Protein backbone atom coordinates (compact mmCIF):
# COMPACT_ATOMS: atom_id res chain seq x y z
CA UNK A 1 0.00 0.00 0.00
CA UNK A 2 1.28 3.48 -0.84
CA UNK A 3 0.83 6.34 1.66
CA UNK A 4 0.41 10.04 0.83
CA UNK A 5 3.05 11.34 -1.56
CA UNK A 6 5.56 13.99 -0.46
CA UNK A 7 5.64 16.27 -3.51
CA UNK A 8 8.87 17.98 -2.36
CA UNK A 9 10.66 14.77 -3.39
CA UNK A 10 9.46 14.98 -6.99
CA UNK A 11 11.97 16.20 -9.55
CA UNK A 12 10.04 18.59 -11.80
CA UNK A 13 11.40 17.82 -15.27
CA UNK A 14 8.78 20.00 -16.93
CA UNK A 15 9.86 23.09 -14.98
CA UNK A 16 13.58 22.54 -15.67
CA UNK A 17 12.80 21.87 -19.34
CA UNK A 18 10.99 25.23 -19.49
CA UNK A 19 14.07 26.90 -17.99
CA UNK A 20 16.32 25.24 -20.62
CA UNK A 21 13.92 26.32 -23.39
CA UNK A 22 13.98 29.90 -22.11
CA UNK A 23 17.80 29.87 -22.32
CA UNK A 24 17.63 28.39 -25.83
CA UNK A 25 15.10 31.05 -26.95
CA UNK A 26 17.52 33.80 -25.92
CA UNK A 27 20.42 32.20 -27.81
CA UNK A 28 18.24 31.68 -30.90
CA UNK A 29 17.25 35.37 -30.86
CA UNK A 30 20.94 36.38 -30.60
CA UNK A 31 21.87 34.06 -33.49
CA UNK A 32 19.12 35.51 -35.67
CA UNK A 33 20.68 38.96 -35.11
CA UNK A 34 23.78 37.48 -36.77
CA UNK A 35 21.71 36.08 -39.64
CA UNK A 36 22.04 32.52 -38.37
CA UNK A 37 18.71 30.68 -38.47
CA UNK A 38 18.89 27.30 -36.68
CA UNK A 39 16.91 24.64 -38.52
CA UNK A 40 16.15 21.05 -37.48
CA UNK A 41 15.08 18.44 -40.00
CA UNK A 42 13.38 15.42 -38.44
CA UNK A 43 13.40 12.22 -40.48
CA UNK A 44 10.56 9.86 -39.68
CA UNK A 45 10.43 6.49 -41.41
CA UNK A 46 7.10 4.65 -41.25
CA UNK A 47 3.98 5.32 -39.23
CA UNK A 48 4.70 4.23 -35.67
CA UNK A 49 2.23 6.30 -33.58
CA UNK A 50 4.65 6.84 -30.66
CA UNK A 51 7.39 8.04 -33.02
CA UNK A 52 4.90 10.33 -34.77
CA UNK A 53 4.00 11.80 -31.37
CA UNK A 54 7.65 12.36 -30.37
CA UNK A 55 8.39 14.08 -33.67
CA UNK A 56 5.32 16.30 -33.19
CA UNK A 57 6.55 17.17 -29.68
CA UNK A 58 9.96 18.13 -31.13
CA UNK A 59 8.37 20.37 -33.77
CA UNK A 60 6.24 22.10 -31.13
CA UNK A 61 9.34 22.70 -29.01
CA UNK A 62 11.12 24.18 -32.06
CA UNK A 63 8.18 26.52 -32.53
CA UNK A 64 8.33 27.61 -28.87
CA UNK A 65 12.04 28.51 -29.01
CA UNK A 66 12.14 29.97 -32.54
CA UNK A 67 13.97 27.13 -34.31
CA UNK A 68 12.85 26.30 -37.86
CA UNK A 69 11.59 22.73 -38.14
CA UNK A 70 11.10 20.65 -41.24
CA UNK A 71 9.47 17.25 -41.49
CA UNK A 72 10.85 14.54 -43.74
CA UNK A 73 8.35 11.69 -43.68
CA UNK A 74 9.36 8.56 -45.54
CA UNK A 75 7.57 5.25 -46.15
CA UNK A 76 8.47 2.16 -44.07
CA UNK A 77 9.37 0.45 -47.36
CA UNK A 78 12.26 2.84 -48.10
CA UNK A 79 15.58 1.02 -48.64
CA UNK A 80 18.68 1.70 -46.59
CA UNK A 81 20.47 3.17 -49.59
CA UNK A 82 17.54 5.49 -50.40
CA UNK A 83 17.58 6.71 -46.81
CA UNK A 84 21.36 7.19 -47.00
CA UNK A 85 20.87 9.33 -50.11
CA UNK A 86 18.38 11.47 -48.21
CA UNK A 87 20.86 11.92 -45.34
CA UNK A 88 23.62 12.91 -47.80
CA UNK A 89 21.34 15.55 -49.30
CA UNK A 90 20.57 16.97 -45.84
CA UNK A 91 24.29 16.95 -44.96
CA UNK A 92 24.98 19.00 -48.10
CA UNK A 93 22.09 21.45 -47.51
CA UNK A 94 23.63 24.60 -46.02
CA UNK A 95 20.27 25.77 -44.63
CA UNK A 96 20.04 22.67 -42.38
CA UNK A 97 21.83 22.91 -39.03
CA UNK A 98 20.65 19.61 -37.51
CA UNK A 99 19.42 16.25 -38.72
CA UNK A 100 17.49 13.90 -36.44
CA UNK A 101 16.43 10.42 -37.50
CA UNK A 102 13.66 9.26 -35.21
CA UNK A 103 14.29 5.80 -33.71
CA UNK A 104 13.43 2.99 -33.95
CA UNK A 105 13.90 2.42 -37.69
CA UNK A 106 12.29 -0.49 -39.56
CA UNK A 107 14.17 -3.78 -39.08
CA UNK A 108 15.58 -3.90 -42.64
CA UNK A 109 17.54 -0.68 -42.02
CA UNK A 110 20.65 -0.60 -39.81
CA UNK A 111 20.20 2.33 -37.43
CA UNK A 112 23.97 2.48 -36.86
CA UNK A 113 24.69 2.71 -40.61
CA UNK A 114 22.30 5.67 -40.77
CA UNK A 115 23.75 7.33 -37.63
CA UNK A 116 27.26 6.95 -39.13
CA UNK A 117 26.12 8.81 -42.27
CA UNK A 118 24.91 11.95 -40.48
CA UNK A 119 27.44 14.80 -40.51
CA UNK A 120 28.71 14.74 -36.88
CA UNK A 121 28.43 18.55 -36.81
CA UNK A 122 24.67 18.24 -37.57
CA UNK A 123 24.12 15.34 -35.14
CA UNK A 124 21.77 16.95 -32.59
CA UNK A 125 21.04 13.50 -31.08
CA UNK A 126 24.74 12.86 -30.40
CA UNK A 127 24.55 9.30 -31.74
CA UNK A 128 27.38 9.52 -34.33
CA UNK A 129 30.45 7.44 -33.32
CA UNK A 130 32.62 10.60 -33.45
CA UNK A 131 30.40 12.30 -30.86
CA UNK A 132 30.02 9.10 -28.81
CA UNK A 133 33.82 8.67 -28.87
CA UNK A 134 34.35 12.22 -27.63
CA UNK A 135 31.92 11.52 -24.79
CA UNK A 136 34.00 8.50 -23.78
CA UNK A 137 37.20 10.57 -23.55
CA UNK A 138 35.44 13.25 -21.47
CA UNK A 139 35.18 15.76 -24.32
CA UNK A 140 31.40 16.13 -24.13
CA UNK A 141 30.05 18.05 -27.11
CA UNK A 142 26.95 16.74 -28.84
CA UNK A 143 25.90 13.88 -26.56
CA UNK A 144 22.67 11.85 -26.34
CA UNK A 145 19.85 14.07 -25.08
CA UNK A 146 18.18 11.88 -22.45
CA UNK A 147 21.28 11.25 -20.30
CA UNK A 148 22.35 14.88 -20.80
CA UNK A 149 18.90 15.89 -19.51
CA UNK A 150 19.48 13.78 -16.40
CA UNK A 151 22.87 15.45 -15.84
CA UNK A 152 21.14 18.84 -16.06
CA UNK A 153 18.55 17.69 -13.51
CA UNK A 154 21.35 16.55 -11.16
CA UNK A 155 22.90 20.02 -11.50
CA UNK A 156 19.60 21.87 -11.00
CA UNK A 157 18.84 19.87 -7.84
CA UNK A 158 22.46 20.29 -6.65
CA UNK A 159 23.16 16.56 -6.40
CA UNK A 160 26.89 16.00 -6.15
CA UNK A 161 27.95 13.04 -8.28
CA UNK A 162 31.62 12.64 -7.36
CA UNK A 163 32.30 9.50 -5.32
CA UNK A 164 28.65 8.42 -5.35
CA UNK A 165 27.50 4.93 -6.26
CA UNK A 166 25.60 5.37 -9.52
CA UNK A 167 23.72 2.41 -10.89
CA UNK A 168 22.45 2.49 -14.48
CA UNK A 169 19.94 -0.18 -15.44
CA UNK A 170 19.80 -0.68 -19.21
CA UNK A 171 22.76 -0.61 -21.63
CA UNK A 172 21.28 0.93 -24.77
CA UNK A 173 23.29 3.30 -26.98
CA UNK A 174 20.55 5.94 -26.52
CA UNK A 175 20.44 6.00 -22.69
CA UNK A 176 22.41 3.47 -20.62
CA UNK A 177 25.89 3.55 -22.18
CA UNK A 178 26.11 7.35 -22.61
CA UNK A 179 24.60 7.83 -19.13
CA UNK A 180 27.31 5.61 -17.63
CA UNK A 181 30.01 7.57 -19.48
CA UNK A 182 28.63 10.94 -18.30
CA UNK A 183 28.47 9.77 -14.68
CA UNK A 184 32.00 8.35 -14.95
CA UNK A 185 33.19 11.67 -16.41
CA UNK A 186 31.90 13.26 -13.18
CA UNK A 187 33.77 10.73 -10.99
CA UNK A 188 30.85 8.59 -9.83
CA UNK A 189 31.49 4.90 -9.19
CA UNK A 190 29.31 3.45 -11.93
CA UNK A 191 27.70 0.03 -12.30
CA UNK A 192 25.79 -0.85 -15.45
CA UNK A 193 23.13 -3.56 -15.15
CA UNK A 194 21.16 -5.11 -18.01
CA UNK A 195 19.02 -8.03 -19.05
CA UNK A 196 21.82 -10.55 -18.35
CA UNK A 197 22.68 -9.16 -14.89
CA UNK A 198 22.32 -11.75 -12.16
CA UNK A 199 20.68 -10.48 -8.96
CA UNK A 200 19.72 -6.94 -10.06
CA UNK A 201 18.67 -6.03 -6.53
CA UNK A 202 22.19 -6.60 -5.16
CA UNK A 203 23.26 -3.61 -7.34
CA UNK A 204 20.24 -1.31 -7.07
CA UNK A 205 20.19 -1.55 -3.27
CA UNK A 206 23.68 0.04 -3.19
CA UNK A 207 22.76 2.98 -5.46
CA UNK A 208 22.99 6.60 -4.29
CA UNK A 209 21.91 7.58 -7.81
CA UNK A 210 19.75 5.15 -9.81
CA UNK A 211 18.93 5.56 -13.51
CA UNK A 212 16.65 3.05 -15.16
CA UNK A 213 15.48 2.80 -18.75
CA UNK A 214 14.54 -0.72 -19.81
CA UNK A 215 10.83 -0.54 -20.62
CA UNK A 216 9.54 -2.88 -17.89
CA UNK A 217 6.67 -1.34 -15.93
CA UNK A 218 7.43 -0.96 -12.20
CA UNK A 219 10.54 -3.21 -12.32
CA UNK A 220 12.16 -1.26 -9.47
CA UNK A 221 10.29 -1.88 -6.20
CA UNK A 222 10.64 -0.29 -2.78
CA UNK A 223 12.69 -3.19 -1.37
CA UNK A 224 15.30 -2.78 -4.16
CA UNK A 225 16.50 0.71 -3.16
CA UNK A 226 18.16 2.19 -0.10
CA UNK A 227 16.84 5.17 1.87
CA UNK A 228 17.86 8.52 0.36
CA UNK A 229 18.41 7.26 -3.20
CA UNK A 230 17.94 9.74 -6.09
CA UNK A 231 15.97 8.03 -8.86
CA UNK A 232 15.73 8.90 -12.56
CA UNK A 233 13.09 6.88 -14.38
CA UNK A 234 13.49 6.82 -18.19
CA UNK A 235 10.87 4.11 -18.74
CA UNK A 236 7.72 4.82 -20.74
CA UNK A 237 5.24 1.96 -20.52
CA UNK A 238 1.75 2.51 -21.85
CA UNK A 239 -1.22 0.37 -20.89
CA UNK A 240 -4.98 0.78 -20.48
CA UNK A 241 -4.40 2.56 -17.14
CA UNK A 242 -2.04 5.18 -18.56
CA UNK A 243 1.71 5.88 -18.84
CA UNK A 244 3.99 4.24 -16.28
CA UNK A 245 7.69 4.26 -15.60
CA UNK A 246 10.10 1.43 -14.85
CA UNK A 247 9.92 2.42 -11.16
CA UNK A 248 7.05 1.64 -8.80
CA UNK A 249 6.85 5.39 -8.11
CA UNK A 250 4.04 5.37 -5.51
CA UNK A 251 6.06 3.09 -3.21
CA UNK A 252 9.68 3.91 -4.07
CA UNK A 253 9.09 7.63 -3.36
CA UNK A 254 8.83 6.84 0.36
CA UNK A 255 12.45 5.66 0.37
CA UNK A 256 13.88 8.10 -2.18
CA UNK A 257 15.16 11.59 -1.39
CA UNK A 258 14.31 12.69 -4.95
CA UNK A 259 12.59 10.93 -7.84
CA UNK A 260 11.42 11.74 -11.36
CA UNK A 261 7.78 11.04 -12.22
CA UNK A 262 6.55 9.50 -15.47
CA UNK A 263 5.28 11.47 -17.28
CA UNK A 264 6.79 14.88 -16.52
CA UNK A 265 10.29 13.87 -15.43
CA UNK A 266 13.06 12.90 -17.81
CA UNK A 267 10.95 12.98 -21.02
CA UNK A 268 10.52 16.78 -21.30
CA UNK A 269 14.26 17.21 -20.63
CA UNK A 270 15.13 15.04 -23.65
CA UNK A 271 13.36 17.49 -25.93
CA UNK A 272 14.64 20.65 -24.23
CA UNK A 273 18.24 19.41 -24.46
CA UNK A 274 17.64 18.55 -28.12
CA UNK A 275 16.70 22.20 -28.70
CA UNK A 276 19.96 23.32 -27.05
CA UNK A 277 21.88 20.93 -29.32
CA UNK A 278 20.28 22.32 -32.49
CA UNK A 279 21.53 25.73 -31.39
CA UNK A 280 25.00 24.28 -30.68
CA UNK A 281 25.07 22.80 -34.21
CA UNK A 282 23.99 26.13 -35.72
CA UNK A 283 26.72 27.97 -33.80
CA UNK A 284 29.36 25.46 -34.91
CA UNK A 285 28.53 25.46 -38.60
CA UNK A 286 27.39 29.08 -38.79
CA UNK A 287 23.89 28.08 -39.90
Ligand X SMILES: Nc1nc2c(c(=O)[nH]1)N[C@@H](CN(C=O)c1ccc(C(=O)N[C@@H](CCC(=O)O)C(=O)O)cc1)CN2
Cα separation of 15 and 11, whole Å?
A: 9
**By CB under 6 A, how many residues form the interface with ligand X?**
19
By beta-carbon proximity to ligand X, the closer residue of 115 and 282 is 115
CB of 204 to Mg ion, least distance (A): 18
- Residues near 108 by beta carbon (within 8 Å), at least 6 away in sequence: 79, 80
Q: Three-state SS for 190?
A: strand
**Are the beta carbons of 227 and 252 closer than 8 angstroms?**
no
By beta-carbon proximity to ligand X, the closer residue of 134 and 189 is 134
Cα separation of 109 and 119, whole Å?
A: 18
Given phi > 0 = left and psi -120 to 50 = alpha, else beta, which region is 109? Answer: beta
HSE toward the beta carbon, residue 245, CA cutoff 13 A:
25
Query: Which residue among 119, 122, 123, 125 is the active-site one?
Result: 125
User: With CB cut-offs between 5 and 8 Å by kind, which of ligand X, Mg ion, none does residue 244 bind?
Assistant: Mg ion
Tell me which of 45, 99, 105, 145 binds ligand X, using CB under 6 A: 145
CB of 51 to Mg ion, least distance (A): 23
CB of 23 to ligand X, least distance (A): 18
Exposure string over 142-175, b if 16+ CB within 10 A, otherwise e? bbbbbbbbbbbbbebeebebeebbbbbbbbbebb
Cis peptide before 104 (omega within 30 of 0): yes
Does 207 contact ligand X by CB under 6 A? no
Candidate ranges 86-94, 106-114, 183-191, 268-276; the one touching ligand X (CB under 6 A): 268-276
Q: Does the annotation mark 125 as catalytic?
A: yes
**Beta-carbon count within 10 A of 226 CB:** 14
Query: Which residue among 39, 58, 164, 177 is the active-site one?
Result: 58
Tell me which of 263, 283, 284, 285 binds ligand X, using CB under 6 A: 263
User: With CB cut-offs between 5 and 8 Å by kind, which of ligand X, Mg ion, none does residue 145 bind?
Assistant: ligand X
- Site residues (vs Mg ion, CB under 5 A): 244
Query: Which residue among 86, 102, 123, 148 is the active-site one?
Result: 102
Exposure string over 39-70, b if 16+ CB within 10 A, otherwise e? bbbbbbbbebeebeebbeebbebbebbbbbbe
CB of 53 to ligand X, least distance (A): 7
By beta-carbon proximity to ligand X, the closer residue of 30 and 195 is 195
Provide the annotated binding site: 170-172, 195, 236
Tell me which of 72, 96, 174, 275 binds ligand X, using CB under 6 A: 174
Helices assigned H by DSSP within 38-197: 49-65, 80-92, 111-117, 129-136, 145-156, 176-185
Candidate ranges 73-81, 83-91, 96-104, 198-206; the one touching ligand X (CB under 6 A): 96-104
Q: Does the annotation mark 102 as catalytic?
A: yes
Give the binding site for ligand X (CB under 6 A).
54, 57, 100-103, 125, 145-146, 174, 236, 243, 262-264, 267-268, 270-271
Active site residues: 58, 102, 125
Amino acid sequence: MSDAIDSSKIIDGKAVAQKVEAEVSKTVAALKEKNIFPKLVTVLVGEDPASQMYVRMKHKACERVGILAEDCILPATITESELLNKIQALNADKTVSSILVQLPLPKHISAQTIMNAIDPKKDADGFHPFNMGNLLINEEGLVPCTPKGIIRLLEEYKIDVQGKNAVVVGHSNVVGKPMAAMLLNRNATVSVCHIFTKDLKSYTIEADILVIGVGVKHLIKEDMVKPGVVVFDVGINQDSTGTHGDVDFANVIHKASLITPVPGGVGPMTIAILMSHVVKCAETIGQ
